[in-house]
Structure 1
Amino acid sequence: MKLQTKIPRRRNRSASFFASLLLLPITLLFGSAAIAEEITGEEKSQQVLRVSAIPDEAPTELQRKFKPLGQYLEQQLGMAVRFVPVTDYAAVVQGLAADKVDLAWLGGFTFVQARLQTGNAIPLVQRERDRNFTSKFISADPAVKTLQDLKGKSFVFGSISSTSGSLMPRYFMAKDGIKPETFFSRVAYSGAHDATAAWVQAGKADAGVLNAAVWDKLVASGKVDTSRVRVLATTPPYFDYNWTVRGDLAPELTAKIKAAFLALDPQIPQHKTILELQAAERFIETAPENYQSIEDAARSVGLLK
């Protein structure tokens, strides 16, 4: 299946770019060990819903997006909700496996990892767009028009565990005969989609790949200069993000969490704000079998054994 090439018209935008990436307080960041230390007696008795998310964007952005959702969940569930930031994708999976996180926003690949590690992680809901998600390949090099023009140049992925920033782009490149470690002169990992765009715009890498939704948001907000950074190609669609609970969470609570997401209605102002921050029109039910193709892709490129 070939990548869909696209070279958009050039547009002038101001390039005030990702200053927040340089202003993140260290106290916002917790690895899996810190998660364990942060759990209180009250939370162990399940009076607090502990929520986390893969750090696919800057921590300040994740906090901003979660705040109204957390308040809504508190209202719907009748219990406190606490967001637990992490430093990397693996920490979220480990948090679910160690019963230190109850609910997590995962990519398709991190869900597969969580399911394999826990044996019972349950995907509850996804956005409609997550049934047909895509990734964008970008470059700021004016001589580069296609992926083949990148031979011998440097390339940046997001996190190695990212579905849209690593796994699926790698899978589709393999189908076109491109093995990144031999095709590119250097392969790096930025850790997050917005960081990937920043690297490419700053010239730290000749090209990169990121989540299409983040790319669209960066363009809409003027945080990427589209007169310099261009989309080279778009992947075919695949399943991606979902909200997952640990499998041993009380069934009654699991059902209430799922119902709360499904009840979000864009016609209600409070709900509209939540949905817009989550880049969602609405949430729909999902199931483990939707992510079998992600597991198969990960095994085919050697990211799962």
Structure 2
Amino acid sequence: MSLFGLLLATMMFFAPAHAQQVLRVSAIPDEAPTELQRKFKPLGSYLEKKLGVQVEFTPVTNYAAAVEGLLNNKLDLVWFGGFTFVQANVRSGGKVIPIVQREEDQKFRSVFITTDKSINALADLKGKNFAFGAESSTSGHLMPRSYLLAAKVNPDTDLKRIAFSGAHDATVAAVAGGKVDAGALNISVWEKLVAEGKVDSKVVRVFYTTPGYCDYNWSVRSDMNPALRAKLTDAFLSLNRSNPEDAAILDLQRATRFIPTKPENYAAIEVAARNAGLLK
């Protein structure tokens, strides 16, 4: 054996086994961490089978951490709200790619809720205590703020006090518990809480529902291996309600099905964020 061949064989013998590839996944914390983990577990198992790689879900403490994790190569796939995607895309100089969204996310909506019988329109919120969700939430802050401004209600000057609950379910709890007079959250979480009997819709009621807008998506960095990105996208698009296992996954994701998406779909969110002074 030549000296080169001997060296090559020695290197191969002592080289560590190839580490198993891991797809690192997270999501904006718009619900309780335990709920996010519960929702993702079956989807994670499905992706492992489809991709042939280990899938690891890591919860983050806030919306900014989800953005930083993807941009700093600590995460590979993140469930973003429309506004969080815009923030990540602007921060990265266009290097974040949304690959799929739920069909429902094409025309997503926010609901305004209250227990106060005197509140029946957005204008009635003047002088009241109000709860948004997280500051970077699309459906819990940005879009509700935009519709308040359109109704000539300036949250910063016309409301008595603004609170940020941090999550949609926390907003419902704040309104139901009388900590605030009203609040806004995404319609999907509201409908889930009502269906599960976790909120009495006769006591806490919806008094305004926004028009539709583009919201959540699954995003990756542009430097992800193109073949892996294609397989990942196809895995989401292949989920089919006619298959009971797939239907269970889609139900947890509160999705009819997943469809392709693109950055241009979130242009209106970026405009709304800049107009509201939330994106510099």
TM-score normalised over the length of structure 2: 0.92
Q: For 2:122 and 2:271, how far apart are their aligned partners in 1? A: 24
Report how far residue 56 of structure 1 moved.
0.4
Structure 2 residue corresponding to 1:133, chosen from 65, 86, 108: 108
Superimposed CA distance per residue, residues 183-220 of structure 1 (whole angstroms, 9 cap, x where no aligned partner):
11000100000100010000011000000011111111
Q: For 2:126 and 2:274, how far apart are their aligned partners in 1? A: 25
Structure 2 residue corresponding to 1:193, chosen from 159, 164, 168: 168
TM-score normalised over the length of structure 1: 0.84
Q: Structure 1: which 4+ aligned runs deviate by more than 6 Å? A: none
Match of 2:87 in 1: 113
**SS state at 1:114 partner:** helix
Match of 2:8 in 1: none
Matched AA of 2:139: S
Q: Which moved more, 1:44-53 or 1:141-150?
A: 44-53
Report how far residue 269 of structure 1 moved.
1.1
Is 1:249 matched with 2:224? yes
Unaligned runs of 5+ in 1: 1-41
Unaligned runs of 5+ in 2: 1-15
Is 1:239 matched with 2:221? no
Report how far residue 146 of structure 1 moved.
1.9
Match of 1:98 in 2: 72
- CA contact 2:20–2:54 (8 Å) conserved in 1: no
Matched AA of 2:275: S
Match of 1:52 in 2: 26
Is 1:301 matched with 2:259? no
**SS state at 1:82 partner:** strand
Matched AA of 1:66: F
Is 1:169 matched with 2:169? no
Check 1:174–1:203 CA distance in 2 against 1; reply closer, same or farther (3 A cut).
same
- CA contact 1:55–1:86 (8 Å) conserved in 2: yes
- CA contact 2:127–2:158 (8 Å) conserved in 1: yes
Is 1:88 matched with 2:62? yes
**SS state at 2:179 partner:** coil
- CA contact 1:57–1:192 (8 Å) conserved in 2: yes
**Structure 1 vs Structure 2 CA RMSD:** 1.3
Match of 1:229 in 2: 204
Structure 2 residue corresponding to 1:124, chosen from 83, 92, 99: 99
**SS state at 1:217 partner:** helix
| Larger gyration radius, structure 1 or structure 2 | 2
Structure 2 residue corresponding to 1:74, chosen from 48, 56, 64: 48
Match of 1:261 in 2: 236
Report how far residue 45 of structure 1 moved.
6.4
Report how far residue 175 of structure 1 moved.
1.1
- CA contact 1:101–1:246 (8 Å) conserved in 2: no
- Would you say how many aligned residue pairs link Structure 1 and Structure 2? 263
Q: For 2:45 and 2:168, how far apart are their aligned partners in 1? A: 26
Match of 2:39 in 1: 65
Percent identity (aligned): 60
Matched AA of 2:22: V
